[in-house]
C-alpha cells in the first residue's frame, strides 16, 4: 500500500531513466560516521519550524554519548520530487560524506533505497502507538520484506470535499422551483428565470440546506454592514449574499441537461459519478462558465479537484471493489505488475474508461479545474467564490479561507494572494535623484526593510539576496526603466480598492513566464518574483469564503452509489530511514523511538510526543490510536478525515509503491490536465498518450 507520490515533470525523466538502469550496479555501502544524525526535509515553513524545535529539544535532553540530530534542507518550496532526486543522486554517486540518515518523503523512496540495499528497517522501534491499519502499506512496497516496517506514517493527510456555502446557496436558490416549500429563500436578485429544480425532503438534504442558508446569512454580515443586516429579515440577508455571488457567476439559465427539472439530494456528494453529473448540470446552467479562456478574477469552474490522480485512483479502487487486483497496477511477489493497464479486457481498464468518461462530460462543459503544480491551487479560487466546491488535502486547511479583507494580484489568468500582507510589495520606481544609473527600483518590505533593484552591477555596500537584487532579464529591465521617470501616483481609473497596471515583488511559487512574471532569484532565503502590469484588488469579506461559510464533507467514497465498499484515501510523506553504518543506524532508531514515544513539555505548556507536536503544527494527522478517537483539537478538515479513518466500515486506500509507480502517477496527472485544456482528447487519446509517456520502462516490467 502506498501513500501519495511525487510529481515529476518530463525534464526529470532523464535522471530517472539513468537511475533505473544504473541502480542495479549500486550496492549497499556505509556512510562515513560523522558523529551526527542528519534528517533531510523538504517540508513547508510551518513544518520546518516545528522540526527545528523538536530537534533542539532532543539535543538538549539526550544522553551526552548519543549523537546529536541535525536538520538538512533539500528544497524550501516543499518539493518532495526534488528531495527524491537528491536521494537518487547520492545513491548513484555512493556519496559516503554528504548523505543523510532520515528523510520525510513518500514510500516509493523505500523501493528506490531497496534496489541498492540501503533501506533501514524500523522493526526494533516501538510503533505500538500507531493504529496498525496505517502501517499496513509497508506490505505493499516492492523489493522489501512485506513483514517489516520501513516507512512510518507520521505526517498523514486525507482528502475532504469543501462546499462554498454562499456560492452553492446562490446556485440552488436560482434553480429551485418557487412552489418548493423546502426552500423558502428568494432566488438571487429576483432572477426572472424561474427555476424548476426540486429539492428532496429527506433529512440529510434538509440538514444541508439549513447549513447553506446559515452560510449565506453569515456572508451577508460584513463588518461594514453588520448593524444593518442584523435588523434585516433573514430572507433579505441571504438575498444580499446571493446578489454578491451573482456578480461573479452571472444569471441562472433554464436549459435541458442543466438543473431544469432536476431533483437535488445531499447524497449527490457521496460518489464521484453523481457529483460529476451535478457539476455538469450547474455548468450548463451558467453561461459565464462556457467561456474557455477565463481571466484570473472570473468564475473558473464548478468543481475544483486538488489532485486529479487521487480522484481517479480512489474512484478506480472503489469501482474495483476495494481489491488491488482490480487496480491499475499492484505489487505481486515484491514486484510491480502493470498487466491490468495493458489488458484492455481487464476490470481495471474497463472501469478506468467509465471513470474517465464521467469526468469528460464535466470537462466538456468547462466545469472542472485542477491544481497545476506550483501554480494557483483550487483552494485559492474557491476562497474568492470562483468555484462551487472542491476536493482538498487536509494539509491545505491553513491556506483555504480568507481573512476579513484580502489583497491579491490579478495577472492575466493567474492570481497571487498577498497572504497576511507579507508576500506582495509594490515596486517603487527610482528617479534621477537617486544618483545611481544602475538602480532601477526599490521595494519596501515588512518592517520597512528596503531592497534595491539593480541592472548590470549592485552597489558595493549592498548584498545580493539580502538587501538587493540584480535584474538580468532584459524585458524586465526595459519595463522598469521605461517607468523610471513616471510619477508614482494612482491613475484616475483607480479606486481605494484597486491598483491597476502596477509592478510588484512577490514571494510566490507561481511559475514565471518571463512575460509578466519574472524569476529574480532568492531574497532572504525565499523565492522572489517580479510581476508587471498587475492589478491589485482588495476583496471585502462578503466577496470571499470565510471558514464558517464552508461546509466540509468527506471526499466521495465511491465511484457510484452501488459500489460495495466506501473508500478513504490515505496519503502524505512518511518518515523513512537510510542505512549509514552500524553506530549511526542504532542512533537513528534511538531518535525515532524518542520522536514517536517520549512525552515532552512544549512552550505552550502542552505535553505530547514530538511526532504529535509536528503533526499539530503543520495540520497533519498522526494516526496514533488515541488520537483517532479524540478529534476535539482538530481543525474541520482533519476532523472530517479522521471520522472516516476511524470508521471500521471504510477501507483505506494507499497507492502501491514502487520506484516506477511515481512515473505512472505523473503520467496520469499530466494527461488528465491535458484533457482539461484540450477538449478533443477522448479516452482513446488519453490512453495512447499515457502509454507513450510511460514508455519502455513500464511496458517491459
Q: What is the pLDDT of residues 62-82, one digit of tens each?
A: 999 999 999 998 876 668 888
152 near 574, Cβ under 8 Å?
A: yes
Assigned C-alpha cell, 651: 477501507
Evaluate whether residue 696 is within a structural domain. Answer: no
Evaluate whether residue 10 is within a structural domain. Answer: no
- SS3 per-residue string spanning 590-639: HHHHHHHHCCEECCCCCEECHHHHHHHHCCCECCEHHHHCCCCCCCHHHH
- Residue 42 belongs to domain spanning: 37-156+572-651
Backbone angles phi, psi at 515, to 5 degrees: -120, -50
User: pTM score, two decimals?
Assistant: 0.85
pLDDT surpassing 90 at residue 104 = yes
Residue 494: per-residue pLDDT: 42
As a whole number, mean pLDDT of residues 342-368 equals: 97
Assigned C-alpha cell, 696: 519502455
- B/e letters for 524-561, b = 16+ CB within 10 Å, e = fewer, are eeebbbbbbebbbbebbbbbbbbeebbbbbbbbbbbbe
Evaluate whether residue 173 is within a structural domain. Answer: yes
Backbone angles phi, psi at 135, to 5 degrees: -95, -10
Phi-psi region of 300 (alpha: psi -120 to 50; beta: other; left: phi over 0): alpha
406 near 544, Cβ under 8 Å?
A: yes
How many structural domains comprise the chain?
A: 3
Residue 433: per-residue pLDDT: 53
Least confident range of 415-419, 467-471, 505-509: 415-419
Whether residues 560 and 630 share a domain: the answer is: no
- Residue 48 CA to residue 617 CA, distance in Å, equals 10
Residue 1: per-residue pLDDT: 38
How many Cα atoms occupy the beta-carbon half-sphere of 567 within 13 Å?
A: 32
- B/e letters for 462-486, b = 16+ CB within 10 Å, e = fewer, are beeeebbbbbeeeebbebbbebeee
Q: What is the CA radius of gyration of the chain?
A: 27
- Residue 310 CA to residue 2 CA, distance in Å, equals 12
pLDDT surpassing 60 at residue 10 = no
Q: What is the pLDDT of residues 391-411, one digit of tens each?
A: 999 989 988 998 777 888 888
Residue 448: per-residue pLDDT: 77
Whether residues 94 and 210 share a domain: the answer is: no
Q: What is the pLDDT of residues 625-648, one digit of tens each?
A: 999 988 777 899 999 999 999 999
> DSSP assignment of 390-405, as one string?
EEEEGGGGGGSS--SS
DSSP for residue 448: G
In whole numbers, what is the pLDDT of the chain averaged over residues?
88
Question: Higher-confidence residue: 581 or 15?
Answer: 581
As a whole number, mean pLDDT of residues 668-697 equals: 94
Backbone angles phi, psi at 66, to 5 degrees: -80, 150
Band (pLDDT 50/70/90 cuts) for residue 8 is very low
Residue 230: per-residue pLDDT: 45
Residue 417: per-residue pLDDT: 84
pLDDT surpassing 80 at residue 139 = yes
70 near 539, Cβ under 8 Å?
A: no
How many of the other CB atoms lie within 10 Å of CB of 182?
15
Whether residues 529 and 550 share a domain: the answer is: no
Q: What is the pLDDT of residues 158-186, one digit of tens each?
A: 999 999 999 999 999 999 987 544 444 44
pLDDT surpassing 50 at residue 22 = no
Assigned C-alpha cell, 307: 489532485
Evaluate whether residue 54 is within a structural domain. Answer: yes
Evaluate whether residue 103 is within a structural domain. Answer: yes
How many of the other CB atoms lie within 10 Å of CB of 384?
23
End of a domain among 628, 651, 674?
651
Whether residues 218 and 366 share a domain: the answer is: yes
Residue 6: per-residue pLDDT: 32
Least confident range of 186-195, 319-328, 433-442: 186-195
Q: What is the pLDDT of residues 195-243, one digit of tens each?
A: 999 999 999 999 999 999 999 999 988 544 443 444 455 667 788 899 9
Residue 459: in which H helix or E strand, if any? none
> DSSP assignment of 52-101, as one string?
HHHHHHHHHHS-TTSPPEEEEES-TT--HHHHHHHHHHHHHTT-SSS--S
Whether residues 591 and 479 share a domain: the answer is: no
Band (pLDDT 50/70/90 cuts) for residue 422 is confident
Residue 691: in which H helix or E strand, if any? helix 683-699
Whether residues 265 and 396 share a domain: the answer is: yes
Whether residues 170 and 139 share a domain: the answer is: no
pLDDT surpassing 60 at residue 432 = no
pLDDT surpassing 80 at residue 189 = no
Question: Higher-confidence residue: 303 or 414?
Answer: 303
Whether residues 518 and 594 share a domain: the answer is: no
End of a domain among 615, 631, 651?
651
pLDDT surpassing 60 at residue 25 = no
Residue 371: per-residue pLDDT: 84
Whether residues 528 and 472 share a domain: the answer is: yes
619 near 160, Cβ under 8 Å?
A: no
Evaluate whether residue 325 is within a structural domain. Answer: yes
Residue 500: per-residue pLDDT: 76
Residue 538: per-residue pLDDT: 84
CATH of the domain at 592: 3.40.190.10
As a whole number, mean pLDDT of residues 271-279 equals: 99
Length of the chain: 701
Band (pLDDT 50/70/90 cuts) for residue 420 is confident
Evaluate whether residue 681 is within a structural domain. Answer: no
Band (pLDDT 50/70/90 cuts) for residue 309 is very high
554 near 295, Cβ under 8 Å?
A: no
Whether residues 381 and 243 share a domain: the answer is: yes
Whether residues 373 and 440 share a domain: the answer is: no
Whether residues 310 and 332 share a domain: the answer is: yes
As a whole number, mean pLDDT of residues 650-662 equals: 94
Evaluate whether residue 139 is within a structural domain. Answer: yes
**Residues pairing with 498 in the sheet:** 537
Question: Higher-confidence residue: 482 or 170?
Answer: 170
Residues 6+ apart with CB under 8 A from 20: 659, 660, 697
Assigned C-alpha cell, 202: 429527506
Amino acid at each position: 500500500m502506498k501513500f501519495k507520490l511525487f510529481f515529476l515533470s518530463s525534464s526529470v525523466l532523464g535522471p530517472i531513466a539513468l537511475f533505473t538502469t544504473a541502480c542495479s550496479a549500486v550496492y549497499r555501502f556505509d556512510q562515513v560516521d560523522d558523529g551526527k544524525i542528519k534528517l533531510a526535509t523538504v517540508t513547508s515553513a510551518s513544518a520546518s519550524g516545528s522540526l527545528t524545535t523538536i530537534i533542539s529539544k532532543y539535543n538538549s535532553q539526550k544522553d551526552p554519548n548519543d549523537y546529536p540530530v541535525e536538520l538538512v534542507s533539500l528544497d524550501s518550496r516543499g518539493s518532495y520530487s526534488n528531495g527524491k532526486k537528491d536521494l537518487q543522486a547520492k545513491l548513484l554517486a555512493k556519496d559516503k560524506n554528504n548523505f543523510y540518515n532520515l528523510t520525510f518523503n513518500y514510500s516509493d523512496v523505500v523501493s528506490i533505497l531497496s534496489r541498492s540495499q540501503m533501506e533501514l528497517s524500523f522493526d526494533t522501534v516501538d510503533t505500538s502507538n500507531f493504529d496498525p491499519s496505517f502501517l499496513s502499506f509497508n506490505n505493499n512496497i516492492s523489493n522489501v520484506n512485506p513483514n517489516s516496517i520501513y516507512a512510518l506514517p507520521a505526517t498523514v493527510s486525507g482528502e475532504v470535499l469543501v462546499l462554498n456555502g454562499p456560492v452553492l446557496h446562490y446556485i440552488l436558490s436560482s434553480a429551485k422551483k418557487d412552489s418548493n416549500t423546502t426552500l423558502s429563500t428568494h432566488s438571487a436578485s429576483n432572477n426572472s428565470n424561474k427555476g424548476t429544480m426540486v429539492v428532496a425532503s429527506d433529512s440529510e438534504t434538509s440538514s444541508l440546506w439549513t447549513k447553506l442558508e446559515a452560510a449565506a446569512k453569515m456572508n451577508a454580515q460584513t463588518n461594514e454592514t453588520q448593524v444593518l443586516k442584523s435588523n434585516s429579515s433573514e430572507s433579505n440577508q441571504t438575498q444580499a449574499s446571493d446578489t454578491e455571488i451573482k456578480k461573479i457567476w452571472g444569471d441562472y439559465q433554464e436549459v435541458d441537461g442543466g438543473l431544469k427539472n432536476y431533483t437535488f439530494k445531499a447524497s449527490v456528494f457521496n460518489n464521484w459519478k453523481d457529483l460529476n453529473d451535478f457539476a455538469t448540470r450547474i455548468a450548463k446552467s451558467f453561461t459565464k462558465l462556457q467561456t474557455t479562456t477565463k481571466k484570473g478574477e472570473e468564475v473558473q469552474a464548478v468543481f475544483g479537484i486538488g489532485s486529479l490522480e487521487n480522484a481517479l485512483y480512489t474512484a478506480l479502487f472503489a469501482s474495483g471493489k476495494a481489491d488491488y487486483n482490480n487496480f491499475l497496477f499492484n505489487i505481486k511477489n515484491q514486484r510491480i505488475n502493470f498487466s491490468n493497464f495493458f489488458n484492455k479486457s481487464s476490470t481495471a481498464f474497463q472501469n478506468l474508461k467509465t471513470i474517465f468518461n464521467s469526468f469528460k462530460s464535466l470537462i466538456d462543459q468547462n466545469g472542472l479545474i485542477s491544481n497545476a503544480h506550483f501554480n494557483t491551487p483550487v483552494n485559492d479560487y474557491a476562497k474568492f467564490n470562483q468555484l462551487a466546491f472542491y476536493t482538498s488535502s487536509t494539509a491545505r486547511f491553513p491556506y483555504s479561507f480568507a481573512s476579513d479583507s484580502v489583497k491579491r494580484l490579478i495577472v492575466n489568468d493567474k492570481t497571487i494572494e498577498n497572504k497576511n500582507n507579507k508576500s506582495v510589495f509594490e515596486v517603487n520606481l527610482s528617479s534621477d535623484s537617486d544618483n545611481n544609473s544602475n538602480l532601477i527600483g526599490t521595494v519596501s518590505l515588512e518592517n520597512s526593510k528596503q531592497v534595491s533593484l539593480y541592472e548590470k552591477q549592485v552597489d558595493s555596500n549592498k548584498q545580493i539576496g539580502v538587501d538587493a537584487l540584480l535584474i538580468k532579464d532584459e524585458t524586465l529591465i526595459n519595463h522598469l526603466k521605461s517607468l523610471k521617470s513616471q510619477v508614482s501616483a494612482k491613475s484616475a481609473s483607480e479606486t481605494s480598492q484597486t491598483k491597476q497596471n502596477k509592478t510588484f515583488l512577490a514571494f510566490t511559487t507561481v511559475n514565471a513566464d518571463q512575460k509578466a512574471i519574472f524569476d529574480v532569484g532568492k531574497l532572504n532565503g525565499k523565492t522572489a518574483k517580479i510581476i508587471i502590469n498587475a492589478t491589485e484588488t482588495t476583496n471585502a469579506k462578503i466577496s470571499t469564503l470565510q471558514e464558517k461559510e464552508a461546509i466540509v464533507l468527506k471526499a466521495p467514497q465511491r465511484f457510484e452509489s452501488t459500489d460495495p465498499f466506501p473508500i478513504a484515501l490515505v496519503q502524505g510523506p512518511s518518515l523513512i530511514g537510510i542505512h549509514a553504518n552500524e553506530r549511526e543506524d542504532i542512533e537513528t532508531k534511538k531518535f525515532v523511538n524518542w520522536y514517536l514515544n517520549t512525552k515532552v513539555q512544549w512552550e505552550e505548556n502542552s505535553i505530547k510526543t514530538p511526532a504529535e507536536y509536528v503533526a499539530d503544527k503543520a495540520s497533519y494527522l498522526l494516526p496514533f490510536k488515541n488520537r483517532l478517537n479524540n478529534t476535539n483539537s482538530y481543525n474541520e478538515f482533519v476532523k472530517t478525515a479522521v471520522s472516516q479513518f476511524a470508521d471500521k466500515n471504510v477501507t483505506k486506500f494507499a497507492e502501491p509503491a514502487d520506484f516506477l509507480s511515481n512515473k505512472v502517477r505523473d503520467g496520469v496527472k499530466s494527461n488528465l490536465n491535458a484533457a482539461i485544456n484540450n477538449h478533443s482528447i477522448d479516452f482513446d487519446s488519453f490512453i495512447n498518450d499515457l502509454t507513450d509517456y510511460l514508455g519502455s520502462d513500464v511496458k517491459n516490467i
